[in-house]
Amino acid sequence: MALIVQKFGGTSVGTVERIEQVAEKVKKFRDGGDDIVVVVSAMSGETNRLIDLAKQISDQPVARELDVMVSTGEQVTIALLAMALIKRGVPAVSYTGNQVRILTDSAHTKARILQIDGQRIQRDIKAGRVVVVAGFQGVDEKGNITTLGRGGSDTTGVALAAALKADECQIYTDVDGVYTTDPRVVAKAQRLDKITFEEMLEMASLGSKVLQIRAVEFAGKYSVPLRVLHSFQEGPGTLITLDEEESMEQPIISGIAFNRDEAKLTIRGVPDTPGVAFKILGPISAANVEVDMIVQNVAHDNTTDFTFTVHRNDYNNALQVLQGIASEMGAREVIGDTDIAKVSIVGVGMRSHAGVASRMFEALAKENINIQMISTSEIKVSVVIEEKYLELAVRALHTAFELDAPAGNTAE
């Protein structure tokens, strides 16, 4: 008998009919002798609907109240799924994040899980119940409802699996695994049988939407066996593993990630003095804005141009902060660009192969795609380009690194 945590995303529970299908799948596992904890998202489109309601009241809703409202989406789904299971003769009980006691910090709309009290769930499991938990949400030490940010239900699922010492965490979604890149952009993308936590972490952080980055971090940190599966199609999915298989056939690049949600900010003519980077990025960080790529250029007149990227949703906030910094530091100007995108190649094989970056740059040059910024790590190379060239760049790189599926074996 195994303990399995299963997470179903918004499209998997998007209608009552789909919730019934999920209940059938959960029942099948339970009938096979497994103990099951299910984590669900809000029904597809529901979170956006709630956010739109809030924005009809205020362009910038108070974060605490926004969390109170959007957390109700999952509350509907857990109750419906529990009802569907009970209808099928499966004892089930639903819990919100607060009821489980998923303790988080107080960073509303992007909270981090600090601790999970699994005792209540374990008692229910011992009593033979399937436990259905609301994803995406928790509670801070003062009792305020918090949410974990987009894709937060993945994190809830993995964190619960870690807290309960589950045998496997299964992430059910609308794709049948992790692909070399988005099949909607590259028809010849291939499903990966396995990928390392390290590669998946890079893919998630660089724009791959299959899993949320914090979910992968949790899984890697606590060695939670993680599998990505299709909600309504049978198949092995993709196993995310700690092991780097030593193989002659290990590809140099495992996948190509991209992110359209990027924006670029530049502060020009800043005096080039010690501590300039902190003077710029300190206030940006204090405004709870995450910075991604950074480039600094020093001019002959001892001034510097400092460029960095942020999520597009944070652009206006970051721009406002940066304009204040520019005024204080006597900078020449602040400029921004929201028509950019980031493309990245990822693979543990890069550690043992030279010339990977130059091969990437050559492929982009052949398509006359200009590179605006470059960032590298041990297993990835990222570039910022004009957004209009994004799909062309992804297809060119997919072919250049021999990731295209053989004829007749393409993703549907």
The answer on whether 10 is annotated among ligand-binding residues is yes
Burial of 44 (0-12, 13-18, 19+ CB in 10 A): middle
The answer on whether 8 is annotated among ligand-binding residues is yes
CA dihedral 288, 378, 183, 383 (to 10 degrees): 60
Burial of 32 (0-12, 13-18, 19+ CB in 10 A): exposed
The answer on whether 74 is annotated among ligand-binding residues is yes
The answer on whether 109 is annotated among ligand-binding residues is no
| Three-class SS of 289-311 | CCEEEEEEEECCCCEEEEEEEEE
The answer on whether 47 is annotated among ligand-binding residues is yes
Residues 57 and 210: their CA atoms lie apart, in Å, by: 32
The answer on whether 173 is annotated among ligand-binding residues is yes
The answer on whether 167 is annotated among ligand-binding residues is no
Phi, psi of 33 (to 5 degrees): 105, 0
The answer on whether 347 is annotated among ligand-binding residues is no
The answer on whether 7 is annotated among ligand-binding residues is yes
The answer on whether 139 is annotated among ligand-binding residues is no
∠ Cα 239 404 391 (to 5°): 100
Please report, in range form, the residues annotated as the binding site for substrate. 47, 74
Binding residues for ATP: 7-10, 173-174, 179, 184, 209-210
Binding residues: 7-10, 47, 74, 173-174, 179, 184, 209-210
